[in-house]
């Protein structure tokens, strides 16, 4: 039986990229698999977070997942820090993974930047915690984007080394789940940069909290080029903004990029932008309304998350027992 684990970092200001790139895929997975969806607040604090903002972002991210259509009864939706097994297994993996393996992680290099000596130890060990997330439930499949592939490879290496070191077969080999052509949503101001909450310009992204008017304005102001819309994806070369807007439309309308090109190719951007704004509002407005409704009743939201954490703990308990026995720890 396939079991899926996926994590999303709690970031305030969720945007269209988070929705189309991750959350929406989860909604599709829940029909076919047993799924655990986790808001990974422990990963978030590898970079300093203002505590109240973190708590709010954790709820808001969970609310967005629910609003997008995840059924919390059919799946397990929970917050990472509510299940201590993640930290317990991560420590053991800190002792299994090699410093050399972690030193090769490109995400660490990017996030630590020039001040590597000053980065938290947690940021360095981040992939070990991610491996613990996945393996604590013996998940068999993890939906991954390009940026997390290296971390998933490391998870496989850790699982194998653990099994080898202790002469057991506790952990399965985890497979990546590549979900069709990756939807990489780029900035509305620069088609070569990923849409990001940390971009200085709010016009670079469509937030899940934007009103219909905000969305229409941002789409109208989105960067384009003077040529009419490309007629085929082959004409995307050198036109990152056109490629991005068409990809966004295709994702929102759930259509092939080719079809979108065939429909709008040769027409001016002004026509297309109107339709793009309408499509974005049609998809996001109901989600935004539902996020706002859920955020207005944090106690109800917390009950859903608490129930998820209880069920996650129950799944984790026997795995952790097996790990303890393999390592030589006395029963917890």
Q: Minimum distance from CB of 98 to ligand TRP (Å)?
A: 20
Does the annotation count 218 as an active-site position?
no
Name which of residues 123 to 152 contact ligand TRP (CB under 6 A): 130, 133-134, 142, 148
**Interface characters, 4-43, with ligand TRP (x: CB under 6 A):** -xxx-x------------------------------x--x
CB of 169 to ligand TRP, least distance (A): 22
Choice between 135 and 279, CB closer to ligand TRP? 135
User: Between residues 7 and 72, which has the closer beta carbon with respect to ligand TRP?
Assistant: 7
Which of 197, 218, 223, 273 is the catalytic position?
Answer: 197
Considering only residues 245 to 274 of the shown chain, the ones binding ligand TRP according to CB under 6 A are: none
Cβ-closest residue to ligand TRP?
7
Q: Toward ligand TRP, which CB reaches closer, 65 or 219? A: 65
Q: Which is nearer to ligand TRP, 5 or 269 (by Cβ)?
A: 5
Write down the catalytic residue from 138, 161, 194, 223: 194
109 is catalytic: no
159 binds ligand TRP (CB under 6 A): no
In this chain, which stretch among 1-9, 49-57, 224-232, 267-275 interacts with ligand TRP, using CB under 6 A?
A: 1-9
Among residues 178, 132, 159, 144, the alpha carbon closest in space to that of 312 is found at: 132
Count of positions on this chain that bind ligand TRP (CB under 6 A): 11
HEC profile of the chain: CCEEEEEECCCCCCEHHHHHHHHHHHHHHCCCCEEEEEECHHHHCCCCCCHHHHHHHHHHHHHHHHHCCCCCCCCEEEEHHHCCHHHHHHHHHHCCCCHHHHHCCHHHHHHHCCCHHHCCHHHHHHHHHHHHHHHCCCCCEEECCHHHHHHHHHHHHHHHHHHHHHCCCCCCCCEEECCCCCCCCECCCCCCCECCCCCCCHHHCCECCCCHHHHHHHHHHCCCCCCCCCCCHHHHCCCHHHHHHHHHHHHHHCCCHHHHHHHHCCCCHHHHHHHHHHHHHHHHHHHHHHHHHHHCCHHHHHHHHHHHHHHHHHHHHHHHHHHHHHHCCCCC
Active site residue 197: yes
The least distance separating ligand TRP from the CB of residue 316, rounded to whole angstroms, comes to: 14
CB of 224 to ligand TRP, least distance (A): 30
Question: Residue 134: CB partners within 8 Å, gap ≥ 6?
Answer: 5, 142, 152, 155, 174
Whose Cβ is closer to ligand TRP: residue 82's or residue 130's? 130
| Interface positions with ligand TRP (CB under 6 A) | 5-7, 9, 40, 43, 130, 133-134, 142, 148
By annotation, the residues acting in catalysis are: 111, 194, 197
């Amino acid at each position: 039986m396939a079991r899926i684990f996926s994590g999303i970092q709690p970031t305030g200001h969720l945007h269209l990229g988070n929705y189309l790139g991750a959350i929406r895929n989860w909604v599709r997975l829940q029909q076919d698999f047993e799924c655990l969806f986790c808001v990974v607040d422990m990963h978030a604090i590898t970079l300093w977070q203002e505590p109240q903002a973190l708590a709010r972002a954790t709820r808001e991210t969970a609310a967005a997942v629910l609003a997008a259509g995840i059924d919390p009864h059919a799946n397990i939706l929970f917050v990472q820090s509510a299940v201590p097994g993640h930290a317990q297994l991560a420590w053991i993996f800190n002792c299994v993974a090699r410093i050399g393996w972690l030193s090769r992680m490109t995400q660490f290099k990017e996030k630590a930047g020039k001040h590597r000596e000053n980065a938290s130890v947690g940021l360095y060990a981040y992939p070990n915690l991610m491996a613990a997330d996945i393996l604590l439930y013996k998940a068999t499949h993890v939906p991954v984007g390009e940026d997390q592939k290296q971390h998933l490879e490391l998870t496989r290496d850790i699982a194998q080394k653990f099994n080898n070191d202790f002469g057991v077969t506790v952990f399965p080999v985890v497979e990546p789940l590549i979900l069709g052509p990756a939807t990489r949503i780029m900035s509305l101001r620069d088609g070569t940069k990923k849409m990001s909450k940390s971009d200085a310009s709010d016009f670079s992204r469509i937030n899940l909290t934007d009103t219909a008017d905000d969305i229409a304005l941002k789409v109208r102001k989105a960067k384009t080029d003077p040529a009419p819309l490309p007629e085929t994806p082959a004409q995307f070369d050198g036109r990152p903004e056109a490629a991005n807007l068409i990809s966004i439309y295709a994702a929102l309308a759930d259509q092939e990029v080719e079809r979108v090109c065939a429909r709008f190719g040769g027409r001016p951007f002004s026509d297309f932008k109107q339709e793009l704004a309408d499509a974005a509002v049609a998809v996001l407005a109901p989600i935004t309304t539902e996020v706002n409704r859920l955020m207005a009743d944090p106690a109800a939201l917390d009950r859903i998350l608490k129930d998820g954490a209880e069920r996650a703990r129950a799944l984790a308990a026997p795995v952790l027992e097996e790990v303890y026995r393999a390592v030589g720890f006395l029963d917890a």
